[in-house]
A and B are shown apart, each in its own frame.
Chain A
Amino acid sequence: MVQTIQEQPAPPPQAAPEVVKSLRDHGALPQWRLMWRQFRRHRLALIGLVVLVPIYFVAVFSGFFAPAASDSAHTSLPYAPPQRVHLSTEHGLFVYGYSSTRSQETFEQTFTVDRSKIVDVGLFVRGDEYKVLGLIPSDIHLIGPTTKGEPFFLLGADQSGRDLLSRLIHGAKVSLSIGLVGVAASFVLGILIGGISGYFGGPVDNAIQRVIEFIMSIPTLPLWMALSAALPNSWGPLTRYFAITVILSLIGWTGLARDVRGRFLSLREEDFVMAARLDGVGQRGIIVGHMVPSFASHIIASVSMAVPRMILGETSLSFLGLGLQAPAVSWGVLLEGAQNIRAVATAPWLLTPGLAVVVVVLAMNFVGDGLRDAADPYK
């Protein structure tokens, strides 16, 4: 469909000037420019992109942006409430420290802001060590207490007195990448199997479609649960991460394969495929050179809708304690700490990882919507 329009002959000179202009516009611009133009018109998708890019940037350089390491704990300050950053001429940037009292009756610890304790805060301070991109060792943090080890909880602390903001930023790395890796895996599976199904048709197609229907008819979550419970506990965090990704994409590829197959079936009958065949182009040449480019944009758009679903899947599994497990940090693992409603009642900030999930998934859905509109810029 794309090719047919691109290969149109130049318009006859007697055509109305504005028609010539619009046709020349469409003919002269490469496809990706046209798509970008269409994408820009989708206001919400742009907003989504503007939200996502910085979040991914922070996740990549999590060590620098997080004030502390994910496991550094102030065991005397469990569930310490969030601090506010103050600015004064005397101290510069600072936060107030905590003083804690233990209730005589319930032995519950309560924290109050202690205005006599002042924790100096600075930019580009030295703190916990980390490795930039896992390679270059460093200990510079964007923001943090100037004296290493002072409490600094912009989003409050969790049950072991660990900074929730730092853990949120470290967890973003896993939560945000698992969707991409998982989608990449289901992308390969979906294109391959869907392509085979659509190109060959007949009994092969029939068999593959039955298998897809079969996978789709198993309720997702129970299957995920059973599969992740099958992972041995002895596996390290990295192995577990990949295993979870495989489990998520094992089910995710089916929708994509159906999409690819549908496109193949409709494209097989298109004139430009026939033309290529008459031209003596081989089967592989037709598929790779002619068919794949013309539906790639659609596939990318539908893939982009699968990323947020995978993020939600990982979060749900980890929340149930079946996905990633501590000491690994992901947003789902962090939310596991919020499973107890009493903990949430004393420390509502435990729900902030959930807020992060909602924001990211929302932004991704918007971007996916925009991509879908932009996938066919000739409309």
Chain B
Amino acid sequence: MLRFLARRLLWMAITLAAISFVTFVVIKLPPGDYTTTVIANAEARGQDIPDSQIAELKRHYGLDKPFLVQYWTWISGVVLHGDLGQSFAWNQSVASLIGNRVMLSILLSIGSLLFVWSIAFPIGIYSALRQYSPGDYVASFLGFIGMAVPEFMLALVMMWIGFRYFGQSVGGLFSPEYADAAWNLGKLLDLISHLWVPIVVVGVAGTAGLIRITRANLLDELHRPYVATARAKGLPEWKLLLKYPVRMSLSPFFSTVGWLLPGLISGETIVSVVMSLPTSGPLLLGAVRSQDMYLVGSFVLILSALTVIGTMLSDLALAWWDPRIRHRLSKG
């Protein structure tokens, strides 16, 4: 088990290093750099920036150095000092800029995950046990719809309904009076009262998918001989179901938790842009557009790190849940 853990941790570090490098390459792909944005903005205002000043800017941000040097400066700062670099556009350290936002993103993702689980499992189990019942058909149909509706579409419709029929804008995570206030109980309650809309919006697609997975998995297990054996032994039906087939059907689910996380983060990104939530999404979009490279790089790095850690946790959870996998791991 320990060897497995060590191997996974090592592999995780390698993956993250590779991701950081690829991210950096991708950010450097577009022709030009941040100074191009500065020049374009200045030209839009009708100003002209002298070449010497641009060269000065480049030197200041280290953009004149070779690619590998720039990468090394950034990544060594991240690893050795926990310094994510400076955002060009905001003229602030990336860490202070995204600290709060990433927390809200995580909060939103975890909230959506809990929402997805609490809705999808009971419905999925019900549809499998009562296959082809009206309830199953309704659940399947809703599941298909949920998978077909893009998140931003759902967000738009929700906002439109809120705007049209309740006369309020649903966007944002805080009421105006709390937006800049320090954290206190009132702000927390305010956050919760706003948070449920994006949680539902982000969670719908995941819920739909998970209902289908749970249903299919459970249907595979329900007619296995061990279920008949347990029934023949005279176990009460609900105890039998929960103890054997339902438990078995959850195993594949644990292994997909890791993949669910990037999905939630992606969904969160686009929903946040539409609903103008102060999470990481809108900041990332702006940074991508203006080639604010350390900001983008750090973002993708943090999100990827979350995903990689999530995958690892899901593997551990799977080993904890399924004795067969634990057995295989301890053997080698």
Contact = CB atoms under 8 A, between A and B. Distances in A.
A and B found bound together: yes
Contact of A358 (B23, B30, B145, B291): B145
Interface string B254-298: 000001001101110110011000000000110011010000100
B163 interface: yes
Contact of A219 (B30, B169, B265, B291): B265
A226 B152 contact: no
Nearest to B143: A365
B30 A220 contact: no
Contacts of B284: 222, 225
B19 A218 contact: yes
A341 B308 contact: no
Nearest to A341: B159
Given A345-B164, A354-B153, A218 B262 contact: yes
Contact of B31 (A218, A232, A322): A232
Interface in A197-240: 210, 213-214, 216-223, 225-227, 229-232
Tell me if A's interface is mostly helix, strand, loop or mixed: helix
B207 interface: no
A79 interface: no
Contacts of A219: 262, 265-266, 269, 300, 303-304, 307
A362 B148 contact: yes
Contacts of B304: 217-219
Given A214-B19, A230-B26, A220 B266 contact: yes
B62 to A, nearest CB: 20
A55 interface: no
Interface residues of B, number: 51
Interface stretch (A128-136, A290-298, A312-320): A312-320
Nearest to B276: A341
Given A213-B15, A320-B270, A362-B145, A226 B153 contact: no
Nearest to B12: A217
A289 interface: no
A20 interface: no
Contacts of B160: 341, 344-345, 348, 351
Contacts of A221: 265-267, 269-270
A218 B300 contact: yes
Contact of B156 (A220, A351, A366): A351
B144 A362 contact: yes
A213 B15 CA distance: 9
A308 interface: yes
Question: Could you say which of A225, A231, A354, A357 has the most chain B C-beta atoms within 10 Å of its C-beta?
Answer: A225
A361 interface: yes
Interface string B157-190: 1011001100001010000000000000000000
Contacts of A225: 269, 284-285, 288
Given A230-B29, A316-B270, A344-B156, 11 more contacts: A214-B15, A218-B304, A218-B307, A226-B26, A315-B150, A320-B270, A341-B163, A351-B153, A358-B145, A361-B148, A362-B148
Interface of B: 11, 15, 18-19, 22-23, 26-27, 29-31, 144-145, 147-153, 156-157, 159-160, 163-164, 169, 171, 259, 262-263, 265-267, 269-270, 273-274, 284-285, 288-289, 291, 296, 299-300, 303-304, 307-308, 311
6 contacts: A218-B22, A219-B269, A221-B267, A229-B289, A365-B147, A366-B144
The list of the 4 closest CB pairs from A to B, nearest first, reads A221-B266, A230-B29, A361-B148, A362-B148
Interface of A: 210, 213-214, 216-223, 225-227, 229-232, 308, 312, 315-316, 319-320, 322, 335, 338-339, 341-342, 344-345, 348, 351, 354, 357-358, 361-362, 365-366
